[in-house]
């Protein structure tokens, strides 16, 4: 196959003569009598067009029938982010004959198809016009759509008119013909796609999402994220930069990054899924406070963070966790999960053992949860500043290495971070270390554990106190008190069936919920709320379980200059198992 695709000839770029070679894996061109070669992996070719073509407007500016233009991924300096920014490179070639030109375009297109089989042809795109700085529509139409057009991708675009529209669409509407789903927005929009796709896949597989011991079916459709939100943590942690062009190019070339997902259950009901943060205490309070200041845009988190920090709270709780196998990796091993991560690759083989193609999505039919190799549940009780669980590093522009810098995107585990009650300056030190390379776990009041599952509950007696507190502090009407009773005591099933979680609360309901007006209460509350990827959960007692590689994104993990080596090896010879050769 490789030899069939090989093509070599002289080509001109401008008035200089080049020797061009297509080897199957790479397209290289070297100026005659000079040493410097430009080498583009075929998998990173965006498009090949006859003539001399511009990106915008996407049309041939001169009808030269011996010319062709190649568009490809070009890496540029990262402006301080952890990953690399991708831009569109373009080179116009002239051939000695039209026959040779047709041969080049045909061979290049065939090679591209062969070496990047996951490239989408048709995408379903949801734009949240209100996310982040409200630029979603503009970003899509002016930056992303022209690139998709260049790559021959057709899109069905839906600008959302309400929260949960994207989730409901994915749960109910016909999705035939789509290769992937894209959101233009923030972590909340990504979360809608996540819930829609996971829910739809389990429905079709006849699996019960409420049962935390069930092995869920991985989703067949890939998810693309065009960042246009406030935190953009999922994009930053899987791509390494917040840049719509970079993300669009990862979608175009059909990159594939599996991602662990955490299911959160209350009693015997699924509450939500999370990929970044399930956090009680500080992060829960920051989210609850920030909902009141949505008008501030992304700054609301910094303002609310400062307010909540100054309110100096800690909360009693019981945490139980099921440790992951310590021989595989550790949250303190100072490694980073980068593109082509070997810990994640080994996990793919462990999670999908019957698959000949280690990346197959359809063979996860053994239970990781009930396996006895993981050991026993561990129980701790005390007062915490915060309890956080994250399936990945959760890096974002605010914290470039994230909540847990050595966490892995796709190893089937999460990191549990326990911050015990401490003096305010100690806690500030902990928070501040998130903004630098200093180790936030190297503090006497902080613990971190790599886990498969966790449980959280209030200490005996507090449960009843919490309930009393909710009703007592509520200044609402009987109807509002009824709502609180429903969410805090018995009605989880019914509420969840109706799709009620934090962001769905009406203003009236929010006023009735003392968690959400915590800062205006004189008495410091004894319970916090859970922040689940930016959604407030109306339950304190939860069970979380990590599902290894449940979804796949159009991404490849964070590339740094070494991970993105200029691979000149072919097939199995590539020692670093770069993305081309996995
Ligand atoms: C002193 C500086 C401290 C900086 C601490 C930074 C910690 C950052 C951790 C970020 C974790 C991100 C997890 C992702 C969560 C998102 O899913 C979720 C939803 O995002 P969306 O609105 O885009 O849809 N975002 C969030 O829940 C936001 C959490 C952000 C917390 C930021 C806290 C800032 C704290 C500032 C403290 C300042 C103390 C000042 C003392 C005088
Ligand atoms: N048209 C809409 N009107 C109101 N809310 C919406 C709409 N579309 C999506 N949402 C909701 O807005 C929330 C925030 O969206 P997101 O794109 O994450 O922005 P941000 O990062 O600024 O929070 C999400 O939870 C999503 O469900
Ligand atoms: Ca993980």
Q: Which 3 state secondary structure label does DSSP give 470?
A: helix
Dist CA 357 CA 407 (whole Å): 25
CA of 347 relative to ligand 3 center, distance in Å: 10
CATH, residue 141: 3.40.50.10330
In a shared domain, residues 137 and 30: no
Strands 222-227 and 180-185: parallel
Continuous segment of H or E residues that includes residue 235: helix 233-239
- Is residue 289 domain-shared with residue 246, that is, in the same domain? no
- Residue 450 domain flag: yes
* Gap from CA of 336 to ligand 3 centroid (Å): 12
Q: Where is pLDDT greater, at 177 or 356?
A: 177
Ligand 2 nearest-atom number relative to CA 297: 22
Residues 105 and 125 in one domain: no
Q: Which of the two residues, 20 and 55, has the higher pLDDT score?
A: 20
pTM of the model: 0.86
Q: What is the CATH number of the domain that holds 481?
A: 2.60.200.40
413 lies in the same domain as 519: yes
The pLDDT of residue 62 is above 70: no
Which range of 55-59, 393-397, 502-506 scores highest in mean pLDDT? It is 393-397
Structure-model confidence comparison of residues 370 and 380, the more confident one: 380
Task: Say yes or no: 206 and 227 in one domain.
Answer: yes
Please check whether residue 350 lies inside any domain of the structure.
no
CA–CA separation, 417 and 276 (whole Å): 13
Does one domain contain both 280 and 417? yes
Q: What does the pLDDT read at residue 306?
A: 97
Mean pLDDT of 165-190: 97
Q: Is the CB of 329 under 6 A from ligand 1?
A: no
Single out the residue of 144, 229, 217 nearest to residue 191, CA to CA.
Answer: 229
pLDDT tens, residue by residue, 196-255? 999 999 999 999 999 999 999 999 999 999 999 988 999 999 999 999 999 999 999 999
CATH code of residue 73: 2.30.29.30
pLDDT greater at residue 117 or residue 375: 117
Note the maximum CA span of the chain.
86
Domain stops at, among 254, 288, 323: 254
Which pairing describes strands 414-420 and 530-532: parallel, antiparallel, or unpaired? unpaired
Does residue 239 share a domain with residue 104?
no
Do 43 and 169 fall into the same domain?
A: no
Stretch 131-144: mean pLDDT: 94
The residues assigned a catalytic role are: 187
DSSP letters for 338-374: BTT-HHHHHHHHHHSTT-SSTT-SS---S-SSS-GGG
CB 395 near ligand 1, within 6 Å: no
Q: Are residues 155 and 48 in the same domain?
A: no
Tell me what percent of the residues of the chain surpass a pLDDT of 70: 79
231 in a structural domain:
yes
Question: How far apart are alpha carbons 136 and 188 in whole angstroms?
Answer: 13
With respect to residue 494, please indicate whether it lies within any of the assigned structural domains.
no
Whether 353 is in a domain gets the answer no
Quick check: CB of 434 below 6 Å from ligand 1? yes
For residue 492, the CA-to-ligand 2 centroid distance in Å is 23
Q: Which ligand number lies closest to the CA of residue 550?
A: 3
Q: Which of 67, 90, 116 is the last residue of a domain?
A: 116
- As a whole number of angstroms, the distance between CA 156 and CA 140 comes to 12
Residues 6 or more apart from 78 whose CB is under 8 A from it? 84, 85, 240, 241
Select the more confidently predicted residue: 74 or 513: 74
Short-list 580, 554, 571, CA closest to 148: 554
Give tens-digit pLDDT for 508-552.
333 334 344 444 444 577 899 999 999 999 899 999 999 999 999
Q: What is the pLDDT of residue 61?
A: 55
Q: In whole angstroms, give the CA distance from residue 384 to residue 313.
A: 9
**What residues flank ligand 2, with Cβ below 6 Å?**
128-132, 160-164, 185-189, 192, 229-231, 503
Same domain, 103 and 169: no
570 occurs within a structural domain: no
Q: How many domains does the chain have?
A: 3
User: 248-282 pLDDT, tens per residue?
Assistant: 999 999 999 999 999 999 998 999 999 999 999 99
Domain that holds residue 47: 2-116
Residue nearest to atom 6 of ligand 2 (CA): 163
How many other C-beta atoms can be found within 10 angstroms of the C-beta atom of residue 486? 15
| Distance, CA of 118 to CA of 256 (rounded, Å) | 8
HSE, side-chain direction, 13 A CA sphere, residue 373: 8
Counting from 1 in the atom list of ligand 2, the atom nearest the Cα of 298 is 22
pLDDT in the model for residue 113 = 92
Query: Is 0.90 exceeded by the ipTM?
Result: yes
**Residues 99 and 145 both lie in one domain:** no
225 shares its domain with 311: no
Sequence-distant (6+) residues with CB within 8 A of 156 are 122, 123, 124, 125, 178
Judge if the beta carbon of residue 350 lies within 6 A of ligand 1.
no
Q: Look at residue 567 and tell me if it is in a domain.
A: no
Last residue of a domain, one of 116, 147, 181: 116
Residue 497, pLDDT score: 34
Ligand 2 atom with least separation from CA of 188: 18
- Distance from residue 131's CA to the centre of ligand 2 (Å): 5
Which residues keep their CB under 5 angstroms from ion ligand 3? Answer: 260, 391, 408, 411
pLDDT tens digits along 455-499: 999 998 766 566 555 444 333 333 333 333 333 323 333 333 333
483 C-alpha vs ligand 1 centroid, how far in Å? Answer: 29
What is the C-alpha separation between 265 and 424, in angstroms, rounded? 32
Does residue 449 sit within a domain? yes
């Amino acid at each position: 196959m490789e030899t069939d695709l090989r093509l070599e000839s002289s080509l001109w770029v401008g008035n200089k003569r080049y020797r061009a070679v297509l080897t199957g894996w790479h397209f290289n061109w070297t100026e005659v009598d000079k040493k410097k070669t430009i080498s583009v992996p075929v998998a990173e070719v965006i498009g090949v067009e006859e003539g001399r073509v511009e990106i915008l407007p996407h049309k041939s500016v001169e009808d030269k029938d011996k010319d062709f233009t190649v568009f490809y991924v070009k890496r540029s300096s990262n402006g301080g982010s952890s990953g690399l920014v991708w831009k569109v490179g373009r080179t116009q070639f002239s051939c000695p004959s039209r026959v040779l030109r047709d041969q080049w375009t045909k061979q290049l297109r065939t090679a591209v198809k062969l070496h990047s089989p996951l490239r989408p042809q048709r995408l379903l795109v949801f734009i949240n016009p209100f996310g982040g700085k409200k630029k979603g529509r503009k970003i899509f139409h002016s930056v992303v759509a022209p690139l998709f057009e260049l790559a021959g991708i057709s899109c069905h675009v839906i600008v959302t008119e309400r929260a949960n529209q994207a989730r409901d669409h994915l749960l109910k509407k016909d999705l035939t013909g789509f290769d992937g789903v894209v959101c233009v927005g923030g972590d909340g929009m990504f979360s809608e796609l996540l819930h829609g796709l996971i829910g739809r896949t389990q429905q079709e597989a006849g699996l019960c999402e409420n049962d935390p011991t069930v092995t869920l079916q991985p989703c067949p459709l890939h998810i693309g994220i065009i960042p246009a939100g406030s935190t953009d943590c999922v994009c930053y942690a899987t791509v390494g930069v917040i840049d719509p062009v970079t993300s669009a190019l990862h979608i175009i070339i059909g990159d594939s990054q599996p991602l662990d997902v955490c299911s959160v259950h209350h009693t015997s009901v699924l509450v939500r899924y999370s990929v970044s943060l399930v956090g009680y205490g500080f992060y829960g309070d920051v989210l609850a406070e920030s909902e009141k200041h949505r008008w501030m845009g992304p700054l609301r988190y910094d303002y609310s963070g400062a307010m909540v920090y100054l309110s100096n709270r800690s909360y009693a709780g019981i945490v139980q966790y099921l440790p992951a196998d310590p021989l595989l990796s550790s949250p303190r091993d100072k490694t980073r999960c980068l593109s082509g991560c070997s810990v994640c690759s080994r996990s793919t083989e462990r999670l999908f053992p019957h698959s000949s193609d280690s990346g197959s999505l359809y063979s996860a039919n053994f239970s990781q949860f009930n396996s006895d190799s993981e050991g026993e549940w561990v129980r701790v009780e005390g007062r915490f500043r915060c309890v956080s669980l994250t399936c990945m590093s959760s890096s974002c522009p605010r914290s470039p290495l994230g909540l847990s810098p050595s966490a892995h995107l796709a190893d089937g585990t999460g990191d549990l971070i326990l911050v015990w009650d401490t003096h305010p300056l100690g806690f500030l030190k902990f928070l501040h270390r998130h903004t630098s390379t200093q180790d936030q776990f190297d503090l006497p009041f902080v613990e971190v554990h790599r886990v498969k599952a966790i449980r959280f509950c209030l200490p005996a007696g507090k449960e009843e106190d919490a309930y009393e507190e909710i009703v007592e502090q509520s200044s609402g009407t009987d109807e509002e008190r009824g709502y609180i009773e429903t969410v805090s005591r018995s009605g989880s099933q019914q509420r969840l069936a109706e799709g009620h979680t934090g962001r769905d609360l009406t203003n009236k309901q929010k006023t009735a919920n003392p968690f959400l007006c915590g800062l205006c209460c004189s008495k410091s509350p004894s319970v916090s709320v859970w922040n689940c990827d930016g959604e407030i959960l109306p339950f304190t007692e939860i069970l979380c379980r990590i599902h290894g590689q449940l979804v796949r994104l159009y991404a490849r993990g964070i590339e740094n200059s070494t991970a993105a080596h200029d691979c000149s090896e072919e097939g199995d010879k590539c020692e670093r198992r770069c993305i081309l050769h996995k």
